[in-house]
Amino acid sequence: MTNTQAPVLKMGVREYLESLVSIIRSPSSFFEDTTGESGSRRALIFLMISGLFYCSVSMTYFFENSLIMGVVMMANAVFMPALGACFSFCIIRMMTTSRVSYSSVFNIYAYSSGAVMVISWIPGLAVVMEPVRAILVGVGLYKTGKLGRLRAFMTVTLTAVLLLLFFWTIAPLVVALRDSYGSWAAQISVTTYC
In this structure, the number of other CB atoms found within 10 A of the CB of residue 28 comes to 12
- Residue 5: the pLDDT is 45
For the chain, what is the radius of gyration of the CA atoms?
A: 20
**Residue 193 — pLDDT band, cuts 50, 70, 90?**
very low
pLDDT value at residue 189: 47
Average pLDDT score over residue span 22-39: 87
Residue 66, SS3 per DSSP: coil
Reported as a single tens digit per residue, the pLDDT across 94-129 is: 988 878 889 999 999 999 999 999 888 887 888 888
Assess whether pLDDT exceeds 80 at residue 51: yes
On whether the CB atoms of residues 51 and 77 are closer than 8 A, the answer is yes
Instruction: Give the pLDDT score at 113.
Output: 94
Q: Answer whether 0.85 is exceeded by the pTM.
A: no
Question: Is 58 exposed, middle or buried, given 0-12, 13-18 or 19+ CB atoms closer than 10 A?
Answer: buried
Q: What is the pLDDT of residue 180?
A: 74
Q: Give the confidence band of 4 by pLDDT, cuts at 50, 70, 90.
A: very low
**Residue 66: is its pLDDT beyond 80?**
no
pLDDT of residue 183: 57
Confidence of residue 191 (pLDDT cuts 50, 70, 90): very low
For residue 141, what are the contacts with CB-CB under 8 A and spacing of at least 6?
A: 88, 92, 105, 108, 147, 151, 152, 155, 156
Q: What is the pLDDT of residues 152-176, one digit of tens each?
A: 999 999 999 999 999 999 888 878 8
Residue type, 36: G
Q: How confident is the model at residue 187 (pLDDT cuts 50, 70, 90)?
A: low
Q: What is the pLDDT of residue 192?
A: 45
Q: What is d(CA 189, CA 40) in angstroms, rounded to the nearest whole number?
A: 46
Residue-level pLDDT at 74: 87
Q: In the chain, count H helices and then E strands.
A: 7, 0
